[in-house]
Structure 1
Amino acid sequence: MTTFPTARNVRTTPEGLVWEPGERWVRGRKGEVTVVDRRHPVLVWEPDVPVPLYAFPRDEVCQDLLRPAKNPPTGTHTGSRIFYDLVADGELSENAAWTFPADDLSGHIAFEWFSRVGRGLDRWYEEEEEIFIHPRDPHKRVDALASSRHVTVEIDGTVVADTHRPVLLFETGLPTRYYIPREDVRLDLFKPTDHSTGCPYKGTAAYWSWSGGAEVPPNVVWTYPRPLPAVGAIRDLLAFYNEAVDITVDGDRLDRPTTVFSAHTAAGRTLPRPPTPSAS
Structure 2
Amino acid sequence: MSGHQPDPVLDEKRQAMPNYPAMIARTNQMEPVPRRIRAVLNGQTVLDTDRAVYLWEWSNYPQYYIPVSDIGPDVLIDENREQKLSRGTARRHGLRAGDVNRPGSVRVYTEDSLPGMAGLARIDWDAIDAWYEEDERVYVHPRNPYVRVDALRSTRPVRVELDGVALAESASPVLVFETGLPTRYYVNPTEVDLIHLVPTATETECPYKGTTSRYWSVRIGDTVHDDLAWSYDFPTRQLLPIAGLIAFYNEKVDITLGGHPLDRPVTHFFPGSH
Query: Which TM-score applies when normalising by structure 2?
Result: 0.82
Alpha-carbon distance in structure 2 between the residues aligned to 1:37 and 1:220? 39
- Quote how far apart the aligned CAs of 1:214 are: 7.4
The structure-2 alpha-carbon separation of the partners of 1:110 and 1:158, relative to structure 1 and needing over 3 Å to count, comes to same
Alpha-carbon distance in structure 1 between the residues aligned to 2:81 and 2:92: 9
Residue 160 of structure 2 aligns with an amino acid whose one-letter code is: V
Superposed, 1:1-280 pairs within 5 Å as 16-47=27-58, 50-69=60-79, 81-100=90-109, 101-114=113-126, 120-205=127-212, 206-213=214-221, 217-263=225-271, 265=273
The residue identity in structure 2 corresponding to 1:124 is W
- The one-letter amino acid of 1:141's match is R
Shift of 1:69: 4.0
The one-letter amino acid of 1:40's match is R
CA distance in structure 2 between the aligned counterparts of 1:73 and 1:194, rounded to whole angstroms: 40
Larger displacement relative to structure 2 (240-249 or 50-59)? 50-59
Whether the 8 Å contact between 1:72 and 1:95 is mirrored in structure 2 is no
CA distance in 2, matches of 1:93, 1:72: 17
1:21: Cα distance to partner?
Answer: 0.7
Which ranges of structure 2 fall in alignment gaps of 5 or more residues?
1-23
Q: Taking structure 1 as reference, are residues 220 and 67 closer, same or farther at Cα in structure 2, changes over 3 Å only? A: same
1:102 alignment partner AA:
L
Kindly state the Cα deviation for residue 217 of structure 1 after the two structures are TM-superposed.
Answer: 4.0
Number of the residue aligned with 1:7: none
Residue pair 1:31, 1:123 contacting (<8 A) in 2 also: no
Deviation at 1:110, TM superposition (A): 1.7
Structure 2 residue matching 1:211: 3-state secondary structure: strand
Q: Distance in 1 between matches of 2:190 and 2:81?
A: 53
| Deviation of 1:83 (Å) | 2.2
Q: Any conservation in 2 of the 1:151–1:163 contact (CA below 8 Å)? A: yes
Per-residue CA deviations over 1:45-69 (Å, capped at 9, x if unaligned) read 1035x22211111211123322234
CA contact (8 A) 1:161 1:185 kept: yes
2-structure distance, mates of 1:58, 1:154? 52
* Distance in 1 (alpha carbons) for counterparts of 2:243 and 2:37: 27
Report the secondary structure of 1:233's partner residue. Answer: helix
TM-superposed deviation, 1:93: 0.6
Deviations 1:193-245 (A, max 9, x none): 00010012111112100112476641000111111111000011110111000
- The 8 Å contact of residues 47 and 78 in structure 1, kept in 2 or not, is answered as no
User: Which amino acid in structure 2 is aligned with residue 111 of structure 1?
Assistant: I
Letter of the structure 1 residue corresponding to residue 269 of structure 2: F
Q: List per-residue Cα deviations over 1:96-152 (Å, max 9, x = no partner).
A: 2113542321210121222xxxxx111222112222222112211110001111100
CA distance in 1, matches of 2:155, 2:67: 49
Percent identity over the alignment? 38
Q: CA RMSD in A?
A: 2.5
* Aligned mates of 2:222, 2:29 — CA distance in 1: 44
Greater strand proportion: 2
TM-score, normalised to structure 1, is 0.80
